[in-house]
Amino acid sequence: MAKKRRSTQKSKKKKRNNSKHIVRNTITVIVIIVIIVVLLLYLRNNTSPLPLRSNNTPAYTSSAVEEHIADLDMARTPQGRRSQIIEHKGYTVSYNSQWRLPNWVAYELTAEETRGDAERSNRFLVDPKVEGVCPRHNDYTRSGYDRGHMAPAADMTWDKQAMRESFYMSNICPQVHGLNAGAWKQLENKIRIWARRDSAIIVVSGPIVKKSHPTIGRNRVAVPDYFYKIVASPYVNQPRGIAFIFKNEVAKEPLYTYTVTIDSVEALTGIDFLYNLPDSLENYIEQNIDLQSWQL
């Protein structure tokens, strides 16, 4: 009988131990599941789908820019350079009366604006807001240069007035045809794709003019040696920026071969872009390029 009781007690003890193991294992599984769920939620909310260029760069999210920031489509022209700020419906221009060219032309392009149906104007006009001499379309006639848009007409199809004003001569520079119809046009097409993808982007374009430069036409329009274009996407989950510099010559190479940081363009031109952004975000956008995020 004693032996039977001991056997029964061992059996009960074994059952209790098995029950404890089951409880422990169940708790462990639940804890692991909770940890995995929390981790997945964290990664979904805090990880950008776009890779950073360097592991040392900070990860900015859309919370860095909580709402639309006014006047991002502006830039600061360096002191001592002639500049008349003119606002048109589709873009803002800093006009240089010495060069008869823009220092820069800036605008915001939204996804909605890329879907307009305003017909191309093709009438190059004197800008009525220019103080002093404004070039005329015939300054370019038989010059060997295209009338190159800084803010392209194809970005102004959302409004008839914006389309017409894109043909103001304050928005035009002498461009070699092989650039205007080559990589420059290819980049303009890319920018519309980026605007549709990112909902809104900032674009700034302009010439780089040497101290000693040729001119064309009766109004002595300066011929740029280079052109730049910067693009910033500050409202996406991983804000980003990129810039391009093209020599004023035939350009048929892949777009990525012309890429530079926005900081590089600022150093070359003396122009301060994106100054209305928070400083840390401005520095990040201007110092980094992630070609993969721009699909280049």
pLDDT tens sequence across 182-202: 999 999 999 999 999 999 999
User: What's 119's DSSP letter?
Assistant: P
Q: How far apart are CA 284 and CA 56, in angstroms?
A: 11
- Amino acid identity for residue 124 in this structure: F
- Residue 135 CB neighbour total at 10 angstroms: 28
Q: Alpha-carbon torsion 252, 199, 172, 82, what sign? A: negative
Looking at residue 73, what is its pLDDT?
82
pLDDT one digit per residue (tens) for the chain, 296 residues: 544 444 445 454 555 555 555 656 666 666 566 555 555 554 444 433 333 333 344 445 444 445 567 678 899 999 999 999 999 999 999 999 999 999 999 999 999 999 999 999 899 999 999 999 999 999 999 999 999 999 999 999 999 999 999 999 999 999 999 999 999 999 999 999 999 999 999 999 999 999 999 999 999 999 999 999 999 999 998 999 999 999 999 998 999 999 999 999 999 999 999 999 999 999 999 999 999 999 99
In Å, how far are 17, 18, 59, 162 from 11, measured between CA atoms?
10, 10, 59, 89
Q: How far apart are CA 249 and CA 184, in angstroms?
A: 11
Q: How far apart are CA 61 and CA 38, in angstroms?
A: 19
Closest CA to 65 of 283, 239, 285, 263: 239
Q: How far apart are CA 175 and CA 183, in angstroms?
A: 12
Q: Alpha-carbon torsion 156, 154, 109, 157, what sign? A: positive
Spatial contact of 59 and 51, defined as CB atoms under 8 Å apart = no
User: What's 210's DSSP letter?
Assistant: -
Residues with active-site annotation? 149
| Residue-wise pLDDT tens digits, 224-267 | 999 999 999 999 989 999 999 999 999 989 999 999 999 999 99
Q: Which pair of structure tokens corresponds to residue 70?
A: 């006014």
Q: Roughly what angle, to the nearest 10 degrees, separates helices 262-269 and 279-287?
A: 90
**pTM recorded for the entire structure:** 0.78
Q: Read off φ and ψ for residue 23, nearest 5 degrees.
A: -60, -45
Q: How far apart are CA 278 and CA 69, in angstroms?
A: 10
